[in-house]
Amino acid sequence: MRLIVIGLIIGINFLWASNGEDIFKKNCMACHSLYIPQSKLLSNFENKNKELNLKAPTLNQLSFMLKDRVGDRKSDNESRKFELENFITNYLENSDKRKGVIPHYINKFFKTMPSMKGRLDEDEIEAVSDYIFDYSENIMIEKGVKRYSYKEAVELAKKEHKIIMIEGYLPYCRFCIRMDREVMVEEAVKKILNKDFLLVKVNLAIEKLPLGMKRLGTPSFYFIKSNAKEIIDMIEGFGSQKDFIELLNDIKKRSK
């Protein structure tokens, strides 16, 4: 009985759903939960989904994987959103997990999603699809370390005696994305960064590095003293949470 009542409420609310987030919450959240940190997800799936008992991939998993695996990663955002919308339109009607993009090591714990044919109209699918697409970037901003422009960082560094850390990335560099999703959102990393560093993200495809620094491969990290004049170090590569914390502590010692 309770299930039926909830079903009715969802059904009625959905008529007024106006944006992608509302549509997701009303139609998808019964199975797809919202954000869960990657570290918890990893440990959950290593333990056969027994820690979290998820019914379906979480919103961040959906968003990360769909964004990585649907369409051409190098085309512009508008075409990528269009491709995702087509994919989701098709999946809501003809769900079949063997044809999906969620990898087997995750999807083996789930049944195929039931078809949702006719539940959402075209505009609603577009809205929910755009929401899923934008979520991967928005959640990194929300959960990650605060970001500054270089100009803001220079002013604050002098005032607050903090180290400027530039993260050099390219939009389609896999390890840059992993760094943001798996390392920069972890509490222990955030604690150090928020206390002693100012993060500046630089898209190396279109922006220049300050102080005449030459760009390294991506991801790369460029550490500058709080006087905004002296370079402490430049490091290239992806590291685990533990490695990265060691690096930050070492940089802190050398910044004095």
- Residues forming contacts to ligand HEC in the complex (CB under 6 A) are 27-28, 30-32, 56-57, 62, 66, 88, 91, 95, 97, 100-102, 107, 110-114, 116, 120, 128
Q: What end-to-end distance do the CA atoms of the chain give, in Å?
A: 66
- Residue of 163, 178, 254 lying closest to 218 (CA atoms): 178
Q: How far is the CB of 137 from ligand HEC (least distance, A)?
A: 17
* Residue 237 Ramachandran class (φ > 0 left, ψ -120 to 50 alpha, else beta): left
- Toward ligand HEC, which CB reaches closer, 83 or 207? 83
Strand pairing of 163-169 and 197-203? parallel
What does R_g of the chain's alpha carbons equal in angstroms?
Answer: 21
The half-sphere exposure of 123 on its side-chain side, counting CA atoms within 13 A, is 6
Q: What is the DSSP letter of 49?
A: T
Name the residue whose CB lies closest to ligand HEC. Answer: 100
- Toward ligand HEC, which CB reaches closer, 127 or 209? 127
Q: How far is the CB of 92 from ligand HEC (least distance, A)?
A: 6
- Toward ligand HEC, which CB reaches closer, 101 or 231? 101
Q: How far is the CB of 91 from ligand HEC (least distance, A)?
A: 5
- Toward ligand HEC, which CB reaches closer, 61 or 218? 61
Q: How far is the CB of 90 from ligand HEC (least distance, A)?
A: 10
**In whole angstroms, what is the distance from residue 192 CA to residue 95 CA?**
43
